[in-house]
Structure 1
Amino acid sequence: MTHRINLIKLSVGTESVEDLLAWQKSAQVCGEDGNPRHVTRMWPKRADELLNGGSIYWVIKGQIQCRQLVLRLDQVTGSDGINRCAMVLDPVLIRTQTALRRPFQGWRYLQQSDAPPDLRASRADDDVLPSDLNRALAEIGLI
């Protein structure tokens, strides 16, 4: 039986979930099928578990704020001739409860039991709290 594993990744340079979504819609990120891709040097060793319903959880401004389902892994060759892994992602960003994360490089595995839950559908369109307030509430465990 294959278990599910997720990844966690910093979304460098984005200020909000909306920024991430706009960046992923750009021609440099979308593939021919219209799905966004995240290209990385390393191929996940636990690819079978990741492709069993796993997601990338995005850290934006020090907080996990959303996730995307990983649809498949494609091998791509960079302009330097080096093979890389293109993680093909579902274009839908699913907002999650906020969870604080310290900076790190690359991506890390994230066990399903450690992943923050999705926001209820009724809260997905709530107004976004200011970053400082959101962080303060997360620090005391209220969100």
Structure 2
Amino acid sequence: MKPARHVHLLKLSVGTDDVEGLTRWQASGRAQGADGLPRHVTRMWPRREEEILAGGSIYWVIKGAIRCRQKILRLDEVIGEDGIRRCAIVLDPEIVRTGQATRRPFQGWRYLRPEDAPADLSSQRDDEDALPSELSAALAEIGVL
């Protein structure tokens, strides 16, 4: 049997100004499950679950550009206080910075093919000061980043 090709998810990080803000949010108890892993709860269950779990990541759009990703570990069923079934996307706590790619606002999440995903930045660049978000987005828009 042929192994499933993987696919990624693309999601807006609403209310986040930078990667550090996403990191702070995910370190809070509200963003973690009982296992201590960060998760993002969404109303819809991905139809391409097998492909996501075959090596997919969630790519976060912050201030109009993809800036980082996290490996998706599993999808858990969550029943809300309202009795509605939801999907908790359970994430690896490591946030990997990526090259930037501009994205227009959208609701929910989108599938992202591996060939369309920006490359990871070198871990050697982690200590560098981040560019201001406006400058970074402008450079990404013209294809420099």
Give the root-mean-square deviation of aligned CA atoms.
0.8
- Kindly provide the amino acid, as one letter, of the partner of residue 72 in structure 1: R
The C-alpha deviation readout for 1:89-119, integer Å capped at 9, x for no partner, is: 0011000001100000000000000000000
TM-score (norm 2): 0.96
Aligned pairs for 1:1-143 within 5 A: 1-143=3-145
Unmatched 5+ stretches in structure 2: none
Aligned-partner SS, 1:38: strand
After TM superposition, give the deviation of residue 33 of structure 1 in Å: 1.2
- Kindly provide the amino acid, as one letter, of the partner of residue 10 in structure 1: L
After TM superposition, give the deviation of residue 50 of structure 1 in Å: 0.3
* Separation in structure 2 between the aligned mates of residue 27 and residue 122 of structure 1, nearest angstrom: 30
The C-alpha deviation readout for 1:11-60, integer Å capped at 9, x for no partner, is: 00000101011111111111111100100111111101100110000000
Following TM superposition, where does structure 1 have runs of at least 4 consecutive aligned residues deviating by more than 4 angstroms? none
- Kindly provide the amino acid, as one letter, of the partner of residue 61 in structure 1: K
Aligned-partner SS, 2:21: helix
Unmatched 5+ stretches in structure 1: none
* Separation in structure 2 between the aligned mates of residue 72 and residue 136 of structure 1, nearest angstrom: 34
Count of matched residue positions in the alignment of Structure 1 and Structure 2 = 143
- Kindly provide the amino acid, as one letter, of the partner of residue 116 in structure 2: D
